[in-house]
Amino acid sequence: MASFVEKLNLILTIQCQRASELISESFERKLLLHERLALRGHIVVCWSCRQFEKHLRLIRLAFRKLDQQEKQELAATMGDPANQMDESFKQRLKQLRP
């Protein structure tokens, strides 16, 4: 746990490197209060980090779309006989032991 001084230090002195890490982490977890303050304060004044956040948002959106495409692809291959598994292989799979 960061001390009060460390938290304050982050808020006052945060730079692009740490800010961009926090932007990425904000997609992973809820940021702590002092991290949010530091990041929002930095983003107000930093044009590049504002762009960086927008870009990551687009990438996130693109992955969502890619995920959907994958699922459709998977559904589309359903009836294709070329993609059918041998029944004997299926039985072999069931015999697997670690």
Partner 1 sequence: MQEPNANTRIDGSPGVEPPNGDAQSQLLSMWVDDHADALYRFAMTRVNDKHTVEDLLQETYLAALKSSESFRRESSTRTWLIAILRLKIIDYYRRAEKEIATETNTLAAERMPARCERLKAWNCEASQTIENHEFWDVFRACVEQLPATLSRAFSLRELDGLQPTQVCELLQISNKNLAVRVFRARSLLRDCLDKHWFSKD
Min separation Cβ 20 and partner 1, Å: 4
| Angstrom distance (rounded) from CA 69 to CA 63 | 10
Number of H helices, E strands in the chain: 5, 0
Is residue 81 a contact residue for partner 1 (CB under 8 A)?
A: no
* Closest CA relative to residue 35, chosen from 17, 19, 24: 19
**Which range, of 6-14, 34-42, 59-67, touches partner 1 by CB under 8 A?**
59-67
**Which range, of 1-9, 33-41, 60-68, touches partner 1 by CB under 8 A?**
60-68
Min separation Cβ 68 and partner 1, Å: 10
Secondary structure class of 22 (helix, strand, coil) = helix
The encoded tokens of residue 79 equal 């009836």
- List the interface residues with partner 1, window 9-48 (CB under 8 A): 15-17, 19-21, 24-25, 27-29, 47-48
Residue 39, CB half-sphere, CA atoms under 13 Å: how many?
19
Q: Judged by CB, which is closer to partner 1: 5, or 98?
A: 98
For residue 11, which amino acid is it? I
Min separation Cβ 49 and partner 1, Å: 8
